[in-house]
Chains A and B, each alone.
Chain A
Amino acid sequence: MIEAQQLTKRYGEKTAVDGLDFTVKPGTVTGFLGPNGAGKSTTMRMIVGLDAPTSGSVTVNGQHYARHRAPLQEVGALLEAKSIHPGRSAHNHLRALALTHGIPRRRVDEVVELAGLGSVAKKRAGAFSLGMGQRLGIAAALLGDPQTVMLDEPVNGLDPEGVLWIRNLLTSLAAEGRTVFVSSHLMSEVALVADHLIVVGRGRLLADTTVRDLVREAGGDTVKVATDDPARLRDVLAGPGVEVTGRVGSEELQVTGVSAREIGLKAAEHGIPLFELTTKAVSLEEAFMELTRDAVEYHGSTTGTETSRSAA
């Protein structure tokens, strides 16, 4: 359980995190989304006490991180920037961290195996590839068998097999009742594992929602239907929460609020012939872009026309 209250971090004039309020609950995977520079890494550093908030507070399992007697058992964190000494072997790195908590050597071997580092554990960590380094960071995060696992952009640099491994790991950790908090700037990646979403932009909270709600708010799933008699189909489908749009004179209708299956059944019931019946899912990526459009720090030049339009 992670609870942030009015969490704020300023660096001089720049506000990196601006009054964030959110709760990350146990038993689910919570995605932490936002464009680059949105304040995700800063927030995560504040959670584990590396950065001090300018104002507000954040607690882990009801207490400030530094107040816990065994911090690594409360939160296991993988931070974005490298947090190892390149001259030390993976095994010695983990061993040094384990010693601070009295974590047995057996557990060090366990996480080395779990992260798939068995064959390179005695090698200097400085010689590791990006993916290997990421695995070492995850091994360190799991070392204390933590109640809360927090990973900053964990799939960065991983090969497809590694990405799949992370996905399975995250869902199994959540299934064990742990709190799992994963940041990413890629909606598509998070949507595969996360149930809950916290979206930030320019340090502000943009949405605290579920994947399903986000899609619904972004317009939901639309069904495209083509028929011989659009006017009659409109009447048949009309009901609460159902929206039907279509151009006059066109055979095509866009329907939201009813599934393709229901439309097909109702049309058959009333003997209305259909030519086409297609579900168009709203891309999560589109929903995310829509949400964060104004908060994106660094726009590409192709958005120039869009900005001028919204300005007008």
Chain B
Amino acid sequence: MSTLTATPDTSEAALAAPSRPVYRVTGRRVLSSEWAKLWSLRSTWITLGLGLLFLVAFGVIAASHYKSNLDSGRHMDGDFASATAVSLSLFGTNFAQLALGVLGVLVTAGEYSTGMIRSTLAAVPRRLPVLWSKAAVYGLVALVIATVGAFVAFLVGSRIVSGTPAAMGLGHAGVVRSLLGAGLYLGLVGVIGAALGALLRSVAGGISVLVAALMLVPGLISLLPSSWQGDISPYLPSHAGESIFALTHDSTTLSPGAGLLVFLAWTVLALAGAAYRLLRSDV
């Protein structure tokens, strides 16, 4: 059947205009287009810079704070007392996820608010390749930035806290896994941001839902009866995500592998919603 439809198609095109160049939309080309789009906006550079800055700066600040508290011999509360070089230097993850998630929302919802989406979908009317490409390109960029940021923060932070109970090196068990996990988590936050932007088609709406899912829901869950909390809490996006890069795990958290799976499931869910809306709704 494919030969039947293909044959008249090509001969007709050849008859109509023998000298016309042959263009074609391919997955790789849509990827390269999205790559070019991402880097041709100033907001990309600014927000990625902010994300990297948050990640490194807050990690270094947390490490310095720990060290100065220790030196002055002041009493430290529980969380801080049990801190490690990893947990201190990854302190900026919370802030970096905002910057990277918001940029993810902008990558997709920004096209709707400006009208660019009409040009984009006129060029790629099958639509779905645009969503996959945006998610892949931006997810990868966020992953790389976040991984670099996590390692830089750890290298600086671990030097600051060397000689203290929190001291750790890259060779320490689980450290590299934690740092890579943090990069992976932030990369997926970027993908979720992009999916939410495409699903809601609004920058404000996308950011609101993202912030609610990552930061507000964990607080609200504490209002539930404690017997429910234990069942639900580890599977929330934020908690599942944290267990990807946490160095230590206990009975109330998921293992890094399980956390990654749960967080991936949330990402796939958001992407599926975005794909459904993209295919079904007019623009």
Contact = CB atoms under 8 A, between A and B. Distances in A.
B36 A71 contact: no
Contacts of A100: 25, 29-30, 33, 123-124
Contacts of B114: 82, 84-86
Interface in A88-133: 88-89, 92-93, 95-97, 99-103
Interface residues of B, number: 37
A81 to B, nearest CB: 6
Given A96-B37, A103-B23, A84 B116 contact: yes
A228 B125 CA distance: 70
Nearest to A71: B125
Nearest to B125: A66
Contacts of B42: 87
A70 B24 contact: yes
Contacts, number: 108
Contact of A85 (B30, B32, B116): B116
Q: Which of A69, A73, A99 has the most C-beta atoms of chain B within 10 angstroms of its own C-beta?
A: A99
A65 interface: yes
Contact of B33 (A99, A140, A147): A99
B125 A88 contact: no
Query: In terms of DSSP, what is the predominant structure of the interface of chain A?
Result: loop
The secondary-structure label for the interface of chain B is helix
B25 A50 contact: no
Contacts of A93: 119
A82 B115 contact: yes
A48 interface: yes
Interface in A150-192: none
A85 B42 CA distance: 12
Interface residues of A, number: 39
A102 B43 contact: no
B40 interface: yes
Select the residue from A96, A103, A140 with max chain B CB neighbours within 10 A. Answer: A96
Contacts of B23: 70, 72-73, 101-103, 144
A65 B40 contact: no
B121 A96 contact: no
Given A84-B116, A85-B114, A102-B24, 4 more contacts: A84-B114, A101-B23, A101-B24, A145-B21
28 contacts: A48-B122, A48-B125, A49-B122, A50-B283, A68-B125, A69-B24, A69-B25, A73-B23, A79-B118, A81-B115, A82-B114, A82-B115, A83-B116, A85-B110, A85-B111, A85-B114, A86-B114, A87-B43, A95-B40, A96-B33, A96-B37, A97-B33, A97-B123, A100-B30, A101-B29, A102-B23, A102-B29, A145-B20
